[in-house]
Each structure stands twice: as C-alpha cells, then as structure tokens.
Structure 1
C-alpha cells in the first residue's frame, strides 16, 4: 500500500468507501467488498482513539455515498441558469449527513476486541445504521448494501425471509472474514455462500402460479426533464403517449385476444392535470381498447371554494375508455426539497418547482380496479426504496412503481432505483411492475425474475403478461423486525465472545 495513504488514514478510508461503490448497481462488482471492508476494519483497528475511529468512519461513508450519489447533481442541469451555484455542493450536501451513519459501525468495530467479535459487531452495527437511515429525517435507505446482489434473481431469494437488510448483514459478515486471516473462516464463508445460492436455486425451482389473464402495456415516453413542462411541447408529448398507448393496446389485443389490457404511464407522464381535464381524459380513453384501462401518472389539483389552488398531489389515476376516472391514488412519502420544502420559513431558498408544495396521500394501500381486475399497490417514485413498507392493511395482487428518473439522466441513479424495486418483489412475494419516464421500465415476477421491460433512454412500449402473486413471505409477515433481531443477536454474541478474550492494544 502506498506510504502516502498510510500516512493519511482519512484519505485511505475515503478511497476504500468510494471503491466499494463498484459493488453497487449498475456495475455489481461484488468481490471488491472482500478487499474494501477488511481494509477498512484493518484501518479502524489502528485508530489511536475513538475520535479518530469516528473521523475515519465518516471518511469511508463520505467516499461511499459521494461516489454512489453523484448523479443527484444531474437534476440541477434541468434549470442550470437558476441552480448553477449548487452544482459543486449538491452531491456532497447529501453525502455528508448520510455518511454520519457510517460512524456507528466504525466506533463499534474500534471498541470491541479484534477477531470474530470485531467482525460480528461491525456487521451488526452496519445493519443497525442502515435501519436508522431508513427512518430518521423521513428516511433515505438508498444503496443498502444488500442491493449489490440485484444483478440476478438467484442471490436475492433469501430476501424473502430476511429482507435486504438481512442480505446486507450476510454480505458484511462474509466480506469481512479475510481480516481474520484464517482458512477456516474462508472455508466457512464459501460454505455459507454455497448454501445461500443453493437456497436461491431451490426457491426458483418451485412452480409458480399461472400468470393473470391480463396484458400489461408499459409505455415509456423518454421525455427529457428540461422539456417536460415546456408549454409549446405539451401537446406533442401527450400525443406521443397516446400513440404509443394505442399501438401497445393493438399489439396486446392481437396477441392475446379477449384479455383485459392495462396501459400504464409513468409518474407525471401527463403534461396536463389529467384528473381535472375532461378533454385530456377523453383523448387518453380513446387510445384504449373497449376492454382496456389506463393507469396514468399525473399531477392532481384541488381548489378551494374561493377558486384558489389548495393542494397539489403526485397521483396515479385510473381511466376507462370512456374517459371516466374510476380510481385515484396519491403519493404519501414525499421527497424533501423536491416535492416539499422542510423547515418552511427557515431556509431562505425554495427549490420546489412552482409556488405550492405537494400534499401527502394517506399511505400504502390498494387501488381498486373495475371489472374484477387484480388491484395494485401503487408506489410512486422513491416510495419503492423503503423495505417493509410496501403493504398496508390489505395485501395487493401486485406492486406498481411509477417513476420519473429523467431527473438523473443516463447515470447510475435509475439502475440503483431499479434494484430496490426488484428486491421489493422478492421480499413481499408480489410481482413488481415498474414504469419509468426515461427508463428503466421492467416487470419482475414474485421471485424477482425479469419478465420484460425497456432500457434506459428508450422510447416505446412493451407488452407483458401480469405475473401472479405468491403467498405472504416470512419477511412480509415479520418485516424489519427480522433483520433487526438478527443484528441484535450478532451484536450480543460478539460482545459475549469479546469478553472471553482480552482486547490487545491496536
């Protein structure tokens, strides 16, 4: 290792964190963690005190999240004349508070004895920090370490039992074992990986229920964010969606005659307030076959008795071929600074487009569809990144994630978002249908297998059958309690083990 890095441990921690991002989507170079996590544990073991350990832990987290969230800056270029000054600080501004959670596993690793206690304590604290990150300050569980396995359905299957946080725990444990410099530990790591993949293969070999007799038409307009709300382009954009919907519905009807057709548009696809615009609803309905239904992302408005705008919602609207709205679902988990301004009146700038913050809907639920069609559980935009919060009081027949990732261009952001959606399908045992403005749009069955979709930056449609749901999974029943208890067990076991062995000086 170069002497300059050994003499600057914070820089080394930063580089190890940044290098770890290669394991995340879209690269999925998972073996890199077998280098970076032991390297970080070795570094923490050399810390002369808890303050240095905390500072180096922050450095690792800052490098990890700065490299993993660089694409946030891309959203500023949709109005660069206004937000140019935020370009150098946007990604660091998000990475800094998220990196603070990396201090927790660093301090635990420094405090407990080297060897197995340190590995167990580090893994438990890592997942504990992930769990905290998912709830504090409205939550931001982006790029959880378990998502490194989302390149294929096979390694994701344990998520049906332990969730993505459980995958994170196993990943940190196994990747940290080289620090023990023990052939037994490495052999045990290989055995666990073999069992892991064996469980995945066994679960994927189980027969699935037959698909629903419903055809989905995923419509991806591929509309750039900087042109989306241009008044001169609204009608051409709307017409693009109408034409793609009509072509997709014709294909679905020709290949599977008699089956109901669900045409799905992404988040805020309509450049008009679709639920309040009678002519837009008529045109949208006219693009459907007689037995079709449109599920369209749109902004929805409510006005007061005085005619003043009262509320805006980020919504999903269900339309019949007649143009009648037969259902609506409003987004509940809003994006701070993107859809509403927290600390209103304290922060002197306003980043939300328009003069009114979005209002929140009632939370996870089911959108009931007419004619006995299976009811989806809608998830708008980043609502899909929150494990254990997909299902409300009633279990839906499938999950529907509509999103507008055009904000982030041709970057890693859409692929990271996609990986989270795939994991939710496995965790809940429910098919996931994801429709994105610029991609990636995809359909995953209830085991996370890819059933069809459209690539990033592609304009078009794809017709896919709606996969059937499995029964409730163990994770769907126990939720975040399961990985939480797993982490607690590792922590307690590590502490007990550490007390039986004297802690040598670093």
Structure 2
C-alpha cells in the first residue's frame, strides 16, 4: 500500500464558486467583466435605435436579451453586473439624448469638450435604471434563479423607481409600432416593460439552452400583447367614431429662442398668432390652441381683470375661443400658465404648471437660502394640482410643457374626467435634433394609458393629433411655421384600469423579488 495525500472532495457548485472568485481557467475575471460591459452596451444600442426618429422597433427585443447574456452566469458578481447595466443605459441614453451636447454649446456657450463631459454625466445618471436592474438581478442568478426570470422583474422595478431627468423606459421603444403598447391601459409603462423584457430574455434563454418549455413561454409573452393590441385598436376606433367631435385648430408659430424673447418683437409675435388664428377660424374650427408661453408678455394671474390683454387677443377679426400659454404673475409669485378664453372675452379657466424644471423654471431651496436670494430670482411657483379647463363645450386636460412625459401627472389629470388631453410646449431649445421626435413619441403613450385623444401644440413642432389608440392622425415637421385642424373626439368613457388604480405591477414585482431573495437565502447551505 503506497502512501498518499488525502484530498477531500469538493462539491461541484462550490468548485465553480471557488473558480469564479479567481477567474475560470482560460477566462480571467477581467475578460468576463469586459465581455459583460460590451454585451450590455450592445443591448443599450439596440434599445435606443428602436425609438424615434430611427424606429427599428424589432431591435428592442434584442436589448434585454443581450443584457441578460452579460449577467446570466452565477460567477458574475453584482459589481460586474452593475457595470454591464450601466453600459447598457449609458449607450442607450448617449444615442437617444445626444442632443444635450449641441444644446449646451448653443445656449450655455459650452465648448465642445465641456458639452460632452456634462452630457456624459447626464447619460450616467440616465443609465441608473439599467444599472440598478442588473445589480439587483445578479444575486438572484447567483442563487439559482434563471436570468430570464430575474432580469425582467428587476428591469421593470428599476424603471419605475429610479429617477430620470428625461424619462426613457424600455417599453416606450415599442411606441412607433403602437400595437404592442396597448397594454398600457391596463398596467401603464411597467406592464409594457415587463412584457418586452420577459419575452426577449425568455426567447434568448430558449435559443441558448434549446429549452422548448421556455420557448413556449416566450412565444406566449410576445404574442399576447400583439393580439390584445389588435383587438383593442379596433374597439377604440369604433368608440371614437361614435363619439362627438370638436374641430380644434393648432398654431405652430416656429419662433426661435432668442427671437421669442426679443422685447421689440412682442407685438409682431402677437399679430402672427392672431393672423394664424384667423386663418384657422375661417376653416370652421371651434377652438384654437396656442403653444406654451405664446402670449408675449406677463399677464395678471387673474387674467379676467386684464381687459386690455384680452382685447389684444380677440381683435383683428379673431373670434375665439382660444386656449393659450402665458406667463402670469401675482404679488411675489410668477406662474407658467395655460388660460382658456371664451368668445365673449370671459376666462373659462386657468391651469398653472405643477411640475417645474429645476434651475430652468425654479431654483431649488431658494426660500431657505438667503444668500441665494440676493443673486437669483426664485423662478416660477408650482401650481397646486392637475387641471382641466372647460372651454368650447369640452373639458380639456392640460399638460403644460414636459408634463406630457410624466406618467403619474397625466394619470391624475385623466382621473379628473377630461374630454381630451392637450399639451402646450416650447421645444425650441432643443434645436433641429432628435429631441422633438423623442418628446412626441413618449407623449403618445399618454393617449393609450388614458384612452383620450391628445392634441400637441408645440412652438417649433412636433405638433399633432394623437388618437386614443396612440396612432398619429397627423403631425407637423419640426421648425416650420404652420397650422392644422384636428378632428378631436370627445371621449367620456370610464377611466382605464391604469387611470383608476395606478401602478399595481411594480409593487407586485417588488414583492416577488423579495420573496425569491428571502427564499433562496433561507434555502442556501450554511
């Protein structure tokens, strides 16, 4: 009998874990991390080009699948998963919000290098939902939860809770195709995110592992939104045809940023709006919309008292009614408002913008920092609540500026029972970039969520009529002076499940995530 060294057996799982901490033979940890980052970035590019203005919609289904490939390995650490998710979100936002660089060059006088640096900081911040999603999924995958289940859950949760300056979610990539996003009336953007991510990741898993059962799941998850969407589009179109209509005229004056703020051109700008309004009224419109801050000087916050200002609108053959954007002021307060003006000169309602843009429209903490008060003005005051303005026999749900991007704000506005939604915006700051196209695409989802027609009156475009199905009935080109007539349907049906109940998907998925995490932790060997 020969002497030897007794070597204890190591279970397979432990051996894999031990190798993973040091790097698997032939593939060091650094190589694995680089591959994960590259796959994540490729996934982000696929998601980005699916949206406007490129609209390669099908590629979005490859995005979550590539991110899953990056992290679907028990040896991938949460730190590497975080980097892969950050790469995905960074590339996605660098493509979709590349307009931030020329905007900073044009209006903040940033040199190109500084513009890119600030833009990169914004893209890093915008990448947070994807980074958090991958980081949350990694521990579940390490404990044996399949990546095609873990990642869609965390992508949906992170997309709902992570803050973003310019809201960009996975599911809105399907907005150009319209059919898939009809689920938004049931569960809002979280439900679309979940359906897209789950179908994408399940399909990739089935292809890699030749798993027929998961392939069936993937097929059902992808097919169901399309089937539901096709049915609902037909049903909503029938409802619209049976509903009363209102002929709404929209003015797109196309005034540049510097031109718009030139005090010597205020009278000319007001005449331009009146001339375009008169032409629309000659076509038989029943209501005219002017964009955000289109009245060229401040009005009293109680504009009914300013007979002179009202007279400057309803003159030169302009009859009204008109719903227009204006900056208003009260003692010590300024507001970004939308005002309804009836034919007889009566103010029918006023809505003050609730969600102001930090630093652009107000200075955070101004009231609490006296030194700051000596340097800059406070800015605008927040409105107190979502608003519906009655005018021309309709109840108009007003979304001022970028409020048409804010899902919860639009939901609460729709809960007030508007006949249709109207957005009043000035996108001149973005220049001739992809931003106006992206803004319009994101806004279109509000029509699906609420099942109300949406009219957008945008100073430099894109303006248009979005049907309650999310389809464009007509839209203008950006940076042209034009006007159009929209045949809006006044829908008064019951609120959608999304409007009535809000986001039930995210809390449910958060519960599932915690249950899986705790169950795997309790079941793990000591």
Q: Contact 1:141 / 1:386 at 8 angstroms: preserved in 2?
A: no
- Which of 69, 78, 87 is matched with 1:42 structurally? 69
> 1:420 and 1:487 mapped to 2: Cα distance?
24
* Structure 1 equivalent of residue 427 of structure 2: 405
> 2:483 and 2:436 mapped to 1: Cα distance?
18
List aligned pairs for 1:64-463, cutoff 5 A. Answer: 64-81=92-109, 87-113=115-141, 117-133=146-162, 136=163, 140=165, 142-177=167-202, 178-180=204-206, 181=208, 182=210, 184=212, 185-206=214-235, 207-209=238-240, 210-252=242-284, 261-274=286-299, 278-286=307-315, 290=319, 292-303=320-331, 310-344=332-366, 355-369=377-391, 373-390=393-410, 391-392=412-413, 394-463=416-485
Q: Secondary structure at the match of 1:363?
A: coil
Q: Secondary structure at the match of 1:471?
A: coil
Deviation at 1:86, TM superposition (A): 5.1
Deviations 1:292-345 (A, max 9, x none): 311111111123xxxxxx111111011234544332110001111211122449
Relative to structure 1, is the Cα distance of residues 460 and 378 closer, same or farther in structure 2, using a 3 angstrom cutoff? same
Q: Contact 1:295 / 1:319 at 8 angstroms: preserved in 2?
A: yes
> 1:340 and 1:360 mapped to 2: Cα distance?
9
* Structure 1 equivalent of residue 513 of structure 2: 491
Q: Contact 1:400 / 1:433 at 8 angstroms: preserved in 2?
A: yes
Relative to structure 1, is the Cα distance of residues 332 and 179 closer, same or farther in structure 2, using a 3 angstrom cutoff? same
Give the number of equivalent residue pairs. Answer: 478
* Structure 2 equivalent of residue 56 of structure 1: 84
Q: Secondary structure at the match of 1:247?
A: helix
Deviation at 1:346, TM superposition (A): 10
> 1:234 and 1:399 mapped to 2: Cα distance?
29
Deviation at 1:132, TM superposition (A): 0.8
Relative to structure 1, is the Cα distance of residues 129 and 68 closer, same or farther in structure 2, using a 3 angstrom cutoff? same
- Using the TM superposition, name which of 140-149 and 374-383 deviates more: 140-149
Deviation at 1:379, TM superposition (A): 0.8
* Structure 2 equivalent of residue 8 of structure 1: 34
Structure 2 alignment gaps of length 5 or more: 1-27
- Using the TM superposition, name which of 280-289 and 402-411 deviates more: 280-289
Relative to structure 1, is the Cα distance of residues 476 and 166 closer, same or farther in structure 2, using a 3 angstrom cutoff? same
Relative to structure 1, is the Cα distance of residues 367 and 354 closer, same or farther in structure 2, using a 3 angstrom cutoff? farther
TM-score by length of 1: 0.84
Relative to structure 1, is the Cα distance of residues 444 and 16 closer, same or farther in structure 2, using a 3 angstrom cutoff? closer
> 1:77 and 1:140 mapped to 2: Cα distance?
19
Q: Secondary structure at the match of 1:92?
A: helix
Deviations 1:326-381 (A, max 9, x none): 3211000111121112244999999xx98341110012122233x6x111111111
Relative to structure 1, is the Cα distance of residues 157 and 49 closer, same or farther in structure 2, using a 3 angstrom cutoff? closer
* Structure 2 equivalent of residue 256 of structure 1: none
Deviations 1:437-489 (A, max 9, x none): 111112223222333332222311111222122321111111112x2245246
Relative to structure 1, is the Cα distance of residues 230 and 429 closer, same or farther in structure 2, using a 3 angstrom cutoff? same
Structure of larger gyration radius? 2
* Structure 1 equivalent of residue 502 of structure 2: 479
> 1:345 and 1:497 mapped to 2: Cα distance?
48
Q: Contact 1:265 / 1:296 at 8 angstroms: preserved in 2?
A: yes
Q: Secondary structure at the match of 2:436?
A: helix
Deviation at 1:425, TM superposition (A): 1.2
- Using the TM superposition, name which of 37-46 and 120-129 deviates more: 37-46
> 2:171 and 2:348 mapped to 1: Cα distance?
38
Relative to structure 1, is the Cα distance of residues 152 and 11 closer, same or farther in structure 2, using a 3 angstrom cutoff? closer
* Structure 2 equivalent of residue 257 of structure 1: none
- Using the TM superposition, name which of 491-500 and 49-58 deviates more: 491-500
Alpha-carbon RMSD across the aligned residues, in angstroms, is 3.3
> 2:329 and 2:113 mapped to 1: Cα distance?
32
Q: Contact 2:57 / 2:176 at 8 angstroms: preserved in 1?
A: no
Relative to structure 1, is the Cα distance of residues 375 and 36 closer, same or farther in structure 2, using a 3 angstrom cutoff? closer
Deviation at 1:398, TM superposition (A): 1.5
Deviations 1:160-210 (A, max 9, x none): 111112101111111112034235334432333332211111112222143
* Structure 1 equivalent of residue 6 of structure 2: none
Q: Secondary structure at the match of 1:342?
A: coil
Q: Contact 1:285 / 1:319 at 8 angstroms: preserved in 2?
A: no
Q: Secondary structure at the match of 2:250?
A: strand
Q: Secondary structure at the match of 1:168?
A: helix
Q: Contact 1:18 / 1:63 at 8 angstroms: preserved in 2?
A: yes
